[in-house]
A and B are shown apart, each in its own frame.
Chain A
Amino acid sequence: MADALFESLLRLGDNALILGHRVSEWCGHAPVLEEDIALANTALDLLGQTNLWLEYAGEVEGKGRSADDLAFLRDAWDFRNVLLVELPNGDFGQTILRQYLYDQFNLMNLEALKGSTDTRVSEIAEKAAKEAAYHVERSRGTVVGLGDGTEESHRRMQDALNILYPYALELFITDEVDAEMAKAGIIPDPKSLEDTYLAAVGATISEATLELPQAHFGHRGSGRDGRMHTEHLGHILTQMQWLQRAYPGQSW
């Protein structure tokens, strides 16, 4: 049980960590100042959520690893995030669409986690769900604005959707860890969220005047169990972890 809980907490924490890092890459580069600030603040919330999940993961593991140890001293194959969040940012539209696809899932998942039988999980979810609700409001609105915008923004959003939508489906690939957590009432089976997620995304995409591509998640493994990551994750880690790798144990 402790092993499955540790794995599941890594999945929650790593999704937030890797997406938070990706989004923070926009800091100082966004098309306008307001968007720059919005992206940086979103990244900050995600890193805050990362800290709460990974701190608990370290406690559950019981080997004395802190949230920082887990974030900065693991290798690519130890990460349990879905591939969607490690994909490169692309243009602003692609970043926002990826954000929406994740935010929509994150909010539904956190709302369900509020009812977890594990008090710590439900408390973290209660805190994080408020932030996620605000994120989805913004990313959803921006996806609709850009999809139903100019000819160019529409084309770019459709291109982004064609690339990203298959990756979103990985969120619902489940294994025995999910089954064990669902049985214990700690974390809902992601499959139980699939229908409402697809309906919500479908409604947003249609409001954005975009078309959902025919898609399935084509990779032969999932980032959720660490057996599959894209080549991009290693590159993220070289940036994110270089200080602890070059100067082990260094602190502020």
Chain B
Amino acid sequence: MRPSIDQIWDWLGEVPDPEIPAISLVDLGIIRDVGFDGDTCVVTVTPTYSGCPATSVINMEIEAALREQGLEKIELKRQLSPAWTTDWVSDAGREKLEKYGIAPPQPAGGPEKCPICASTNLELLSQFGSTPCKAQWRCKDCLEPFDYFKCI
């Protein structure tokens, strides 16, 4: 018996991002489509950054999660266009990021507030961070450095 498309989205919503496990792949906005081609489950995934080393791990984890639910025929498709944007990070995902200590992306290009003490007195340390999708900032009040999810 074939599971419903909604059911598959729910399962994928439980798969954590390998580098930022606080949010799921669905929260991150990289799952573009789920469907069936005959009896093959087709999941369309868009990369965050073209060189992100997590991409192949993400594909493996999607496949593993769906196999665990009993799906046998799975096809993963890569979709480059429209290019991934941080606008696709869900509201739930943004909340989870902030709780985890990562400032969520802002259209203004920098974090809105310190994810630890909520101060707005901030400075940029480096335009790049521990993963391709993050930059390093510091709070000038609580003095803690923190990750900012870059807006692209």
Classify chain A's interface size: 20 to 34
| Interface check A42, CB cutoff 8 A | yes
Q: Mark B108-152, 1 if CB is under 8 A from A, else 0.
A: 000000000000000001111110100010000000000000101
Q: A134 contacts which chain B residues (CB < 8 A)?
A: 127, 150, 152
- Given known contacts A38-B127, A49-B50, A134-B127, A44 and B81 CB-to-CB distance under 8 angstroms: no
Q: B60 contacts which chain A residues (CB < 8 A)?
A: none
CB of A52 within 8 A of CB of B126, answer: no
CB of B53 within 8 A of CB of A124, answer: no
Which of A98-106, A125-133, A153-161, A237-245 interfaces with chain B?
Answer: A125-133
Q: A45 contacts which chain B residues (CB < 8 A)?
A: 49-51, 132
Chain A nearest CB from B84 CB (Å) reads 8
Bound-state CA distance A122–B129 (Å) is: 28
| Interface check A41, CB cutoff 8 A | yes
| Interface check B82, CB cutoff 8 A | yes
- Given known contacts A52-B50, A138-B127, A127 and B80 CB-to-CB distance under 8 angstroms: yes
Within 8 A of A (CB), among B80-123: 80-84
Chain A nearest CB from B133 CB (Å) reads 10
Q: Mark A136-159, 1 if CB is under 8 A from B, else 0.
A: 011000000000000000000000
CB of A131 within 8 A of CB of B127, answer: no
| Interface check A5, CB cutoff 8 A | no
Bound-state CA distance A128–B49 (Å) is: 8
CB of A126 within 8 A of CB of B126, answer: no
| Interface check A34, CB cutoff 8 A | yes
Closest Cβ neighbor of B85 among chain A residues: A130
A→B interface (CB under 8 Å): 34-35, 37-38, 40-42, 44-49, 51-52, 122-124, 126-128, 130-131, 134, 137-138
B→A interface (CB under 8 Å): 47, 49-53, 80-84, 125-130, 132, 136, 150, 152
